[in-house]
Chains A and B, each alone.
Chain A
Amino acid sequence: MADKLRTLQNLEAMQARYVGTGHADTTKHEFLSNIVRDSYASYIGHPPLLGYMAVGMGESREKVRAMMIEKMVGGVGRPPETQE
């Protein structure tokens, strides 16, 4: 039993530390939001990829960067209604 508790605590620590670590009750919305946010963070973080997209969109890199962080705020949109 103690082992189980420790595993759970470890998992919780992981989840707190590394954003996006899943758990048994991860909803589809959470999962997708994480993917979307991770993707945008990766586009911003890799300079060639950001430049590539900026040229594709015909915008400046800084504008594309700001736009992508803005999209991270929204994630995949509204969460589903929770049923109590």
Chain B
Amino acid sequence: MATTSHMFMYSLTIQPPTAITQAILGQFAGTKEQQIVTSSGSKLTIHRPDPTQGKVTPLYSQDVFGIIRSLAAFRLAGSNKDYIIIGSDSGRITIIEYVPSQNRFNRIHLETFGKSGVRRVIPGQYLAVDPKGRACIIASVEKNKLVYVLNRNSQAELTISSPLEAHKPQTLVFSIVALDAGYENPVFAALEVDYSESDQDPTGRAYEEVEKLLVYYELDLGLNHVVRKWADPVDRTASMLFQVPGGADGPSGVLVCAEDNITYRHLNQDAFRVPIPRRRGATENPERKRAIIAGVMHKMRGAFFFLLQTEDGDLFKLTIDMVEDDNGQLTGEVKRLKIKYFDTVPLASSLLILKSGFLYVAGEGGNHHFYQFEKLGDDDEEIEFVSDDFSADPTASYEPIFFQPRSAENLNLVETINSLNPLIDSKVANISEDDAPQIFTISGTGPRSTFRTLKHGLEVSEIVESELPSVPSAVWTTKLTRGDEFDAYIVLSFGNGTLVLSIGETVEEVTDTGFLSSAPTLAVQQLGEDSLIQIHPRGIRHILPDRRVNEWPAPQHRSIVAAATNERQVTVALSSGEIVYFEMDADGSLAEYDERRQMTGTVTCLSLGKVPEGRTRSSFLAVGCDDSTVRILSLDPDSTLENKSVQALTAAPSALNIMSMADSSSGGTTLYLHIGLHSGVYLRTVLDEVTGELSDTRTRFLGSKAVKLFQVSVKGQTAVLALSSRPWLGYSDTQTKGFMLTPLDYVGLEWGWNFSSEQCVEGMVGIQGQNLRIFSIEKLDNNILQQSIPLAYTPRRFLKHPEQPFFYVIEADSNVLSPATRARLLEDSKSRNGDATVLPPEEFGYPRANGHWASCIQVVDPLDAKSVIATVELEENEAAVSVAAVPFTSQDDETFLVVGTAKDMTVNPPSSAGGYIHIYRFQEDGKELEFIHKTKVEEPPLALLAFQGRLVAGIGSVLRIYDLGMKQLLRKCQAIVAPKAIVDLQTQGSRIVVSDVRESITYVVYKYQENVIIPFVDDSVPRWTTSTAMVDYETTAGGDKFGNLWLLRCPKKISEEADEEGSGAHLIHERGYLQGTPNRLELMIHVYTQDIPTSLHKAQLVAGGRDILVWTGFQGTIGMLVPFIGREDVDFFQSLEMQLASQSPPLAGRDHLIYRSYYAPVKGVIDGDLCEMYFLLSNDTKMMIAAELDRSVREIERKISDMRTRVAY
């Protein structure tokens, strides 16, 4: 760690990546139930699919601090538990298991095989396990293949052998699968190309004749070595293999998936081939060949089938017929392949079929989907194509086959799991005037692209909303007897009376309850076995089960101002500042304690905790007074109403609540005192169960109104509902057990209470204005809410209107027909009486054709309309690449939308027929766009920016300033400032920060007097910049394509010199240093995040929080960098990091520091994700680390959680 850096940032992930690289299925808990394990970035997550509800819920997620490249599940023979093998960048093979009792992953084996990293010859790219769990192969793209033998020892523990090598130099591997060889020797099949000859042949003929081979590697278990058993050429375009069941289930062998065809291959078996059906339709190119990009094999009751997906998303069901002998028995010989269209689902990176009849589609871009099988496509009218009609020879030509795509018949979508992958751009803005800003993102690909609003909050499902005759002040629910499961009454208090409603099939008013209806109520409680208590300003009503009432009247000239109750105790505070205490005695009546306690000020609130299990009373009473104090009084018989402790506050308390909640520090439950203040601040302190001491106070600002607190029950845990200007819920995180405070996505409530009935077991009832609302919270594992609006094509960039809450998204899809072309083709087809049905593109995608672009500009209103309100399609094969809103001084500061486009662009290799800059005028406050004119430029303008009332554009390596003219843009000034291509621009004052596609950033100054652009400082390291943000006038934060985040700063002196009046001539004539500008930027911080940063913002995420750096990653990560203020905290976190890295080393065996220093040594960054691992450790380890750091566990946890909650969620 570079301790010399004088700047430190705390890097924390707010939302982990949501892209799934791979998903595997298995019985990881050792029960009959199947779980799904997914890898996303460095996160390994286990999910539980719930077949009854059709939902997938994450059970546990762990950061492995390494790149997970491949996953495989396997099971030893005779065992009922699946283990997980991880192929990562650690140069090691890792075997882990899921321990359901602890809800943790446990590493069983970690075997080093060589160098770390992700390189050409480092195994880890491919991983395959023998279906009987006897061996696994781990291979690299080129040359290396290692086979490990898996076995068990006499203690039934899993053992792993030393690796057996099956290397073949100068050989590239496309795919590896394990063959189902039954109990014979394990065999692995690889799809290989040997390039050694083509690399030596100057004529190029050898390259033309390169063959792709299907190679069988057999592990001889007797001799303990691997032999290359069989190699046979297959189709040159083949790229994927699938295992065909063997043994008793099938013929064994593999499916070789190539472009346009699928072949069955096996040793000693004939080859069978079927083409991949192509789509029929007016807009489809009949020549276009499809390839298989994902698939899954499923075995059931002796039968098996494959679902294979093409790049259009179409699933095909492939089955294999076997030869039967005279007795009708299967001989194990293949007769034919059959393929037919199944359904269309989104493009998958992994497909999984669950035994319970579900299909899990880990989406390649956009949401993940969970489908239920309605049927297996057995008896439908789809045409089935058989291999009998096609030659198995890969060189033989054949007639292509066609099918008609249709809407889903076999699959039924039951759940969508939100995913932001690929997250292409984001903005942080507050358009809804909440107290915290929202994050707006554009994500997804093609017709499944979305514009999403992300908001911190918990999802609330409303059950009832009903209007009341007048505005109530409070609401309670109560049971009738202690044994009742559900609440029986809802009690509403109004300014002048009380209303009781009974809960049943319907909710209706009841009058004969014994409640006093002519006065407002202060508290309601079910007391003892079967009586009720109503506290009103004039006294306490004790209602016995036979409706008899015992009344305790308040003393003369005094009224009750606050009350607290539990099952056995009642306390009330009088207007005189006296506290009266009652306890239930043996015969069930309330007995007043003979002394009253006089408080110094007026009592504002009281709280009694619940009576702990097995005890007769709660031993503490919390009293809040208007002198801004909270006192804890003892209720023990020998020290009744004596002071235990005092807490001074910043404002008068408005609510108190003592409750015991799950606690991460102690591992069990702890008693907490929750305090709400009139100023809108909420505090939580630990209340010592013995001494009554208050400690570990944590503060949070909730809103502008006085805080009210209520104990509720959510998902089986005790939670606190805190109401201020908006409702919040305090609960324990499902994984870490750490305390979380999250706003509810709901209306502001004035009062709330727990609610439990047969229909809604864990609900809440609340008052909002004149309405009574009953609601519940279904999910506690996700505290970021998403609202999504579909877009037309893959979004590229977007921006917000400078004043209005509208966003302008530019979108472009390559190799897709534009709407105009599509319409023309349809017209042609109609005129020939052909088929002209149009499939909905959201499900089936757009018709594709090479070299075509479909592109548009869409206006999105996320606030009111919650949809796209206008679309401008681009024509003539232009694709939008950049966007800016520019106020032109020459047009009276009117703001125009400027869109840069590229004509006839090809991405690989990069080329285009020039670009255009379009100018649009905002119409109707920005709801519509009016095209003004467009200006041709020599290269696509990849970056546009408003600059001093004009437009600055990055066109290739040229930076150019334009003004707006009548017919086109007017060139004012230009300079070559970047080596390759300008991709991003930022500005402050007359300084422009120019990002190059692969040469980091350059600072440029514009001299208005001389009208020149002068680059004056650049970087010494080539960074392939994706996105930048200016943090201050000297400093720029940026991200690059390899997943690094960095902060670069211009030396103060150089920065000042550049801005000096009349320094232009000096700057121009200063001699450049090493073919660059005269000066160099200084690196302030550097960290590897794995995910590619796509946008960075300096922003505030919570009300009253500091400015932080928020970044979003391509795979859906949202992260932040928080600057440290003091050196003290840095030292603490550095030593904590060190302890954590050594006490709980990363799961996949990658060294943490090396991982964060993947491309360049980590500098000036504390890894918050590692620090938060502390919550997940066992208590012993926590204590050990705490001892090393000379602090308490609670203190460490507080420091870690403060880093997060002070500035973010």
Establish whether residues A58 and B815, one from each chain, have CB atoms under 8 Å apart when the complex forms.
yes
Q: A6: CB under 8 A from chain B?
A: no
Q: Provided the pairs A45-B119, A81-B202 are in contact, do residues A55 and B794 lie with their beta carbons within 8 angstroms?
A: yes
Hey, what's the 0/1 contact readout for B869-886 against A, CB within 8 Å counting as 1?
Answer: 000000000000000000
Q: Provided the pairs A48-B1113, A72-B172 are in contact, do residues A18 and B121 lie with their beta carbons within 8 angstroms?
A: yes
Establish whether residues B199 and A51, one from each chain, have CB atoms under 8 Å apart when the complex forms.
no
CB distance from A37 to the nearest CB of B (A): 6
Q: B897: CB under 8 A from chain A?
A: no
Q: Which residues of B contact A (CB under 8 A)?
A: 19, 21, 41, 67, 69, 89, 115, 118-121, 124-125, 140-143, 169, 172-174, 193, 195, 198-204, 207, 210, 239-240, 291, 293-294, 311, 347, 349, 364-365, 421-422, 424, 445-446, 794, 813-816, 907-908, 1041-1043, 1090-1092, 1113-1115
Establish whether residues B291 and A66, one from each chain, have CB atoms under 8 Å apart when the complex forms.
yes
Q: A28: CB under 8 A from chain B?
A: no
Q: Which of A20, A42, A48, A73 has the most C-beta atoms of chain B within 10 angstroms of its own C-beta?
A: A48
Establish whether residues A49 and B293, one from each chain, have CB atoms under 8 Å apart when the complex forms.
no
Q: A residues within 8 A CB of B908?
A: 53, 56-57
A-B contact pairs, 10 of them (CB 8 A): A20-B120, A42-B118, A48-B1043, A51-B421, A57-B814, A59-B311, A60-B364, A61-B293, A72-B195, A81-B202
Q: A residues within 8 A CB of B195?
A: 72-75
Q: A69: CB under 8 A from chain B?
A: yes
Complex CA gap A41/B89 in Å reads 13
Hey, what's the 0/1 contact readout for A28-63 against B, CB within 8 Å counting as 1?
Answer: 000001000110011011111101111111111111
Instruction: Name A's interface SS.
Output: helix
Hey, what's the 0/1 contact readout for A63-84 against B, CB within 8 Å counting as 1?
Answer: 1011001001111011111100
Q: Across the two chains, which residue of chain A brings its CB closest to B174?
A: A69
Among B67, B140, B293, contact of A46 (Cβ-Cβ < 8 Å): B67
Q: B residues within 8 A CB of A77?
A: 204
Q: B residues within 8 A CB of A20?
A: 120
CB distance from A19 to the nearest CB of B (A): 5
CB distance from B994 to the nearest CB of A (A): 21
Establish whether residues B794 and A51, one from each chain, have CB atoms under 8 Å apart when the complex forms.
no
Q: Provided the pairs A60-B293, A72-B142 are in contact, do residues A45 and B125 lie with their beta carbons within 8 angstroms?
A: yes
Q: Provided the pairs A48-B1090, A58-B814, A58-B907 are in contact, do residues A74 and B198 lie with their beta carbons within 8 angstroms?
A: yes
Q: A residues within 8 A CB of B173?
A: 69
Complex CA gap A33/B294 in Å reads 30
Complex CA gap A60/B364 in Å reads 8
Q: A residues within 8 A CB of B172?
A: 69, 72-73
The size bracket of the interface on A is 35 or more
CB distance from A83 to the nearest CB of B (A): 11
Q: Provided the pairs A44-B125, A69-B141 are in contact, do residues A63 and B291 lie with their beta carbons within 8 angstroms?
A: yes
Establish whether residues A33 and B199, one from each chain, have CB atoms under 8 Å apart when the complex forms.
yes
CB distance from A13 to the nearest CB of B (A): 13
Q: B residues within 8 A CB of A33?
A: 199
Q: Provided the pairs A19-B142, A45-B118, A78-B202 are in contact, do residues A66 and B1092 lie with their beta carbons within 8 angstroms?
A: no
Hey, what's the 0/1 contact readout for A1-41 against B, CB within 8 Å counting as 1?
Answer: 00000000000000010111000000000000100011001
Q: Across the two chains, which residue of chain A brings its CB closest to B173?
A: A69
Q: Which of B118, B813, B814 has the most C-beta atoms of chain A within 10 angstroms of its own C-beta?
A: B118
Q: Provided the pairs A38-B120, A56-B907, A73-B195 are in contact, do residues A79 and B142 lie with their beta carbons within 8 angstroms?
A: no
Among A18, A55, A60, A66, contact of B174 (Cβ-Cβ < 8 Å): A66
Q: Provided the pairs A45-B69, A49-B1042 are in contact, do residues A82 and B143 lie with their beta carbons within 8 angstroms?
A: no
Q: A residues within 8 A CB of B1115?
A: 47-48, 51
Among A16, A42, A51, A80, contact of B1114 (Cβ-Cβ < 8 Å): A51
Q: What number of A-B contacts does a CB cutoff of 8 Å give?
A: 143
Q: B residues within 8 A CB of A60?
A: 293, 311, 347, 364
CB distance from A24 to the nearest CB of B (A): 20
Among A46, A51, A81, contact of B19 (Cβ-Cβ < 8 Å): A51
Of all A-B residue pairs in the complex, the 4 with the closest CB atoms, nearest first, are A45-B118, A58-B814, A66-B239, A62-B293
CB distance from A55 to the nearest CB of B (A): 5
Q: Across the two chains, which residue of chain A brings its CB closest to B238?
A: A66
Among B89, B201, B813, contact of A78 (Cβ-Cβ < 8 Å): B201
Q: Which of A37, A58, A77 has the most C-beta atoms of chain B within 10 angstroms of its own C-beta?
A: A58
Establish whether residues A79 and B199, one from each chain, have CB atoms under 8 Å apart when the complex forms.
yes
Establish whether residues B201 and A79, one from each chain, have CB atoms under 8 Å apart when the complex forms.
yes
CB distance from A64 to the nearest CB of B (A): 9
Q: Across the two chains, which residue of chain A brings its CB closest to B236?
A: A70
Q: Which residues of A contact B (CB under 8 A)?
A: 16, 18-20, 33, 37-38, 41-42, 44-49, 51-63, 65-66, 69, 72-75, 77-82
CB distance from B177 to the nearest CB of A (A): 15
Complex CA gap A79/B202 in Å reads 5
Establish whether residues A45 and B422, one from each chain, have CB atoms under 8 Å apart when the complex forms.
no
Q: B residues within 8 A CB of A65?
A: 239
Establish whether residues A72 and B199, one from each chain, have CB atoms under 8 Å apart when the complex forms.
no
CB distance from A6 to the nearest CB of B (A): 22
Q: Across the two chains, which residue of chain A brings its CB closest to B1117?
A: A48
Among B349, B365, B815, contact of A55 (Cβ-Cβ < 8 Å): B365
Complex CA gap A82/B141 in Å reads 29
Q: A residues within 8 A CB of B311?
A: 59-60, 62-63
Q: B residues within 8 A CB of A46?
A: 67, 118, 1042-1043
Q: A residues within 8 A CB of B239?
A: 62, 65-66, 69
Among B169, B203, B291, contact of A19 (Cβ-Cβ < 8 Å): B169
CB distance from B1139 to the nearest CB of A (A): 30
Q: B residues within 8 A CB of A75?
A: 195, 199
Q: A residues within 8 A CB of B118?
A: 41-42, 45-46
Among A45, A48, A61, contact of B141 (Cβ-Cβ < 8 Å): A45
Q: Which of A16, A46, A56, A81 has the most C-beta atoms of chain B within 10 angstroms of its own C-beta?
A: A46
Complex CA gap A38/B169 in Å reads 14
If A41-B118, A56-B908, A66-B239 are given as contacts, then 7 extra A-B residue pairs at C-beta distance below 8 Å, sorted by A number, are: A19-B120, A49-B1043, A66-B291, A69-B172, A73-B198, A78-B203, A78-B204
Complex CA gap A1/B743 in Å reads 76
Q: B residues within 8 A CB of A54?
A: 364
Q: B residues within 8 A CB of A78?
A: 201-204, 207
Establish whether residues A37 and B120, one from each chain, have CB atoms under 8 Å apart when the complex forms.
yes
Among B202, B349, B422, contact of A82 (Cβ-Cβ < 8 Å): B202
Establish whether residues B193 and A73, one from each chain, have CB atoms under 8 Å apart when the complex forms.
yes
Q: B residues within 8 A CB of A79?
A: 199-202
Establish whether residues B907 and A57, one from each chain, have CB atoms under 8 Å apart when the complex forms.
yes
CB distance from B420 to the nearest CB of A (A): 12
Q: B residues within 8 A CB of A52?
A: 422, 1041, 1092, 1114
CB distance from B347 to the nearest CB of A (A): 5
Q: Across the two chains, which residue of chain A brings its CB closest to B125?
A: A45
Q: Which of A16, A42, A62 has the most C-beta atoms of chain B within 10 angstroms of its own C-beta?
A: A62
CB distance from A4 to the nearest CB of B (A): 26
Among B120, B201, B347, B816, contact of A41 (Cβ-Cβ < 8 Å): B120
Q: B residues within 8 A CB of A18?
A: 115, 121
Complex CA gap A16/B1091 in Å reads 33
Complex CA gap A54/B445 in Å reads 10
Establish whether residues A41 and B1042, one from each chain, have CB atoms under 8 Å apart when the complex forms.
no
Q: Across the two chains, which residue of chain B brings its CB closest to A72?
A: B172
CB distance from A74 to the nearest CB of B (A): 6
Q: Across the two chains, which residue of chain B brings its CB closest to A76?
A: B199
Q: B residues within 8 A CB of A61?
A: 293, 349, 364
Complex CA gap A80/B813 in Å reads 39
Establish whether residues B794 and A58, one from each chain, have CB atoms under 8 Å apart when the complex forms.
yes
CB distance from A81 to the nearest CB of B (A): 5
Complex CA gap A59/B204 in Å reads 29
Establish whether residues A41 and B142, one from each chain, have CB atoms under 8 Å apart when the complex forms.
yes
Complex CA gap A18/B143 in Å reads 10
